[in-house]
A and B are shown apart, each in its own frame.
Chain A
Amino acid sequence: MDLGSLVQITIWGLLAGCIYILLAIGLNLIFGVMKVVNFAHGELLMLSMYFTFFIHEFFDLNPYLVIPISVFLMAFVGILIERLGFRPIMGTGKLNEIFLSLGLIYLLQNAVALIWGTGSRTIRSPFEFDSISLGSRQIPLDYLIIIGITMVLLVLLQVFLKKTTLGRAMRATSQNREAAMLMGINVERMDMISFGLGSALAAAAGALWCISGINFNPYIGSAPAIKAFAVIIIGGLGSIQGAILAGLLLGLAENPLLVLLNALWTETANTLTFLNLPADISFLSWQNSVSFLILIIVLILRPQGLFGERGE
């Protein structure tokens, strides 16, 4: 295993991390303001992939230019879901919003499957064949652009939350809803905006993932959404820095770490033959479980998450 391939796998991990971070921050915003969990967040990502695909197909636009359009569309869809679904059940029960989002998962997945079929689709990026060579390995230019766009989005979000009046109002609502209401903030409008913003971030994640050349189908959203939940719990609820760090951690743990473990295991089994270790064990099949293992370990050791405050 040479250095080039290690860098390549690390870039894969970073790409996966970017998707998790964008999803997780959207979830964090929604949870912070509304105290509602949206398990159907992955379905918003999936919907955005289909929007990106069809806008790209019909208007023959550069996929990077489609991103703002699908982000805008999905913000609208998010507001619609908040209005019709979550607002009527706000404050009715602790578990109701989880169950409502389960209903949304069934509804959205199968509606998309019904309308557009379950066949897998893929998008062609204009920079598909451009890559940066790194020793024996090639790194696609698209991956680097996607990581760059994610960083720009994160900086913009931070500026919005810290510097603008609207962002301050949102943070105030997430800190203390009653006090914010008394200060003259329209908290229901904040709910709407936070859900719209969360959906927009999920849409950005979907569009970027789509451009990275993945094959997608109506069922693609569940896995990253569930991992995004793990990310916000690991990072601490409501903490954006925590979400960024945990997202990167998870992205790296899923790809490079497992490959490294695999290489190490084979090496050990081959050198220390007297231990009689089975050399064919593959850690790669643990890719889906690794996030939950980290989650459970973190919750046992530090129930409030890495960056979370006590009490939540």
Chain B
Amino acid sequence: MKMSLIRSVLAFLVVVAAFSLPLVLRINSAMLEILIIMCVFIMYSSAWNLLTYSGQGSLGHAAFLGLGAYSSVLTAKFLNLSGLWAINVGGSLVLIQSTILTVFVGGLFAAVVGVFIGLTCVRLREWFLAMVTFGFAVIIHTVTLELKEITGGHDGLPTKHLVSITDSQITDPFVKTLMRYQIEYYVILVFALFVIYVIDRVLKSKVGLAFEAIRENELEAKVMGINTVKYKLIGFALSAFFTGVAGALMIHHTGYLTPEIYSVENSFRPIIYCISGGLFTVEGPIIGTFIITVIWDGLKSFGLVYEHLVIIGLILILTIIFLPRGFVSIPGKIRSRFRSGS
């Protein structure tokens, strides 16, 4: 009871900090950009973690990220929707675009494809699955490049932003961008909190228990009457849905979409974040994404082009060997150290 209270208080403090961050610090748009991408990757890593929770490690999750992004962008483009509603913020008119709804189309499409990929994977274990998912990312990359008429091939597509600022007294484009970034940060933060909340609920429900049983021993889970195929597909669908939403949000923020979104790096990043933060926990991907992004972008901003990736690789190897349960296990380790010392 006491531990759960501490956890709720901590979670509340983190949420308050996340909301007040852009207001307290006078952040410039470059910093805000990093924060927004961090929020997107928290969503994405949590979704990847959800799939791994059911014992299915994917090496090609960028496929869902890209599918969500492309389907959302194309829906917005072909339906040609107008803005959803306008809000008056300090004298300037902020138009919330309908892309805020098309991201769900992206998520749904990714989930449908995810179920199909899951169907080919239900019989496969560990690294067979890893190979097939990796292969799907490569194949979808090729298909996207080939469908030049729809996806624009190598050149990609321009995308609509999540919000746009119209009818404004602000003429300075930099201030305008900063304002757009601020509002988009809050939109994406709300999405991220919602996704984390849903994933937390799912993992604590019957579905989460089934995932855990399948991960620990699939045969025994089957014997206990768990429909393993059904739950594995649910895992794929949910994970692909959240990943698709994350991809669509990211791409509507940046304003352009190229097949680069299917890159191997995008597939590997959530793995690094989750492993270093702590697999199979809700807070692991959040902490991991935060710490690794700070290290990643911090070192990069010092001009260490290759060094930062060497360090990331080392961190990954060292956490697997010495901290198999990730950064989240550090407080527990320190506490037990103190207890045995006294």
Point out residues on A near B: beta carbons under 8 Å. 37, 85, 88-89, 92-96, 98-100, 102-111, 113-114, 222, 226, 229-230, 233, 285-286, 288-289, 291-293, 295-296, 299-300, 303
Contact = CB atoms under 8 A, between A and B. Distances in A.
Nearest to B312: A106
B309 A110 contact: yes
B313 A103 contact: yes
In order of increasing CB-CB distance, the 7 nearest A-B pairs are A292-B135, A106-B313, A107-B313, A103-B316, A103-B317, A110-B309, A114-B306
Contacts of B221: none
Given A95-B52, A102-B268, A299-B128, A107 B135 contact: no
Interface in B107-133: 120, 123-128, 130-132
B120 A288 contact: no
A300 B321 CA distance: 35
A89 B317 CA distance: 10
Chain A facing B: main interface SS: helix
B135 A94 contact: no
B131 A110 contact: no
Contact of A95 (B57, B264, B314): B57
Interface of B: 52, 57, 59, 120, 123-128, 130-132, 134-136, 138-139, 141-142, 145-146, 264, 268, 271-272, 275, 306-307, 309-310, 312-317, 320-321, 324
A107 B321 CA distance: 15
B183 to A, nearest CB: 35
Given A111-B310, A300-B120, A98 B127 contact: yes
A119 B49 CA distance: 37
B321 A89 contact: yes
Given A95-B52, A114-B310, A233-B128, 11 more contacts: A37-B127, A85-B317, A85-B321, A98-B59, A103-B314, A103-B320, A106-B310, A108-B313, A110-B307, A230-B131, A295-B135
A293 B136 CA distance: 9
Contact of A104 (B134, B268, B313, B324): B313
B316 A288 contact: no
27 contacts: A95-B126, A98-B57, A98-B126, A99-B316, A99-B320, A100-B317, A102-B271, A103-B315, A103-B317, A105-B313, A106-B309, A107-B317, A108-B313, A110-B306, A110-B313, A111-B306, A111-B310, A113-B306, A114-B307, A222-B264, A229-B131, A285-B145, A288-B142, A289-B138, A289-B141, A292-B136, A295-B131
